[in-house]
Amino acid sequence: MTENLNNYEFLPKNDYLLLKTFNLGFKNKQILIIIINREKSLNAVNIDILKSLINILKHVENDSNILSIILTGAGNKAFIAGADIKSMNTYHPEDAYKYSVLGQDLVKLINSFDKPVIAAINGYALGGGCEIATACHLRYASENSIFGQPEVKLGIIAGWGGTVNLKRVIGLGNATKLLISGDTINSDEALKVGLVNMVFPLENFLQSVIKEVKSFCKNSPNAIKNTLLSINSFNNDDPYKKESNLFRDSFKHEDSSIGLSAFLRKEKPEFK
């Protein structure tokens, strides 16, 4: 099935993203597949990738031929291993705040998107990667996937909606456990707590996801749109802003430089 993928032309180009379409075989309707293409860094997401993802989604919102979007990672080791720790290591607290708000712009756009956005999780979904997956409407995982919010091990907090969205998906207790322990869970555990909808073998994983997505693309796009808008119209007193403020605060504390730089030196952090 993946042999039937065509290129989706979108300008400006970004080498970090591959865009493919799967033709649904009726009225020129398609599924757009967005592949984060930074395999050597386990598809860690940087500012350029965040900005491009936002641009692409805004563009696709107006393309009536695209019925659904699948977001996945290049290779078979990682979906997204988080925000790019190499760039964050030198962040001033105000840079951290802006990075948090930009990541939240993406997750809010996905939250409120009126076409189904599906995370096809093919390996590590950590930190910002878990947060982007959590923002998606559905999550399908390959059996080798690993999920977690390890930010606390880096001396920082989740900054792309993790403290807002995870509890909606897996409940307050499960979310708190993941967010304060920094522990990881595998695909079976993620299925048990409701973090993923289904688990598939790694072999032919994307084909399995496309098959699932195809099955609901037969339904009314307008009814799906209104269902998504209704399900996701949760209201709150701007918890995103609160999270960005706290993300900035964590960069004011020495634990952030201890944790982030220890990761880059491939050492264990010693927090004071």
Binding-site ranges for ligand CAA (CB under 6 A): 41-42, 44, 81-86, 103, 124, 126-128, 131, 150-151, 154, 158-160, 162
CB of 189 to ligand CAA, least distance (A): 16
Least CB distance from residue 5 to ligand CAA, whole Å?
26
> Which of the residues 39, 151, 212, 243 is marked catalytic?
151
For the CB of residue 81, give the shortest distance to ligand CAA in the complex, in Å.
Answer: 4
Nearer to ligand CAA, 86 or 218 (CB): 86
Tokens found for residue 254: 């020495």
Phi, psi for 30 (deg, rounded to 5): -140, 160
The Cα–Cα gap between 169 and 190 comes to 11
Three-state DSSP class for 20? strand
Q: Least CB distance from residue 106 to ligand CAA, whole Å?
A: 11
| Helical H segments across 79-217, by residue range | 85-88, 93-111, 128-135, 162-170, 172-181, 187-193, 205-217
Which residue number places its CB atom closest to ligand CAA?
127
Of 116 and 162, CB closest to ligand CAA? 162
Distance CA 238, CA 157 (A): 17
- Report CA 16 to chain centroid distance, whole Å: 15
189 is catalytic: no
CB atoms within 10 A of CB 33: 24
For residue 151, indicate whether it is catalytic.
Answer: yes
Catalytic option among 3, 9, 131, 243: 131
Q: Which is nearer to ligand CAA, 42 or 224 (CB)?
A: 42
Structure tokens at 201: 């073998």
Closer residue to ligand CAA in complex, CB, 82/116:
82
DSSP label at 186? E
Q: Which residues are catalytic?
A: 131, 151
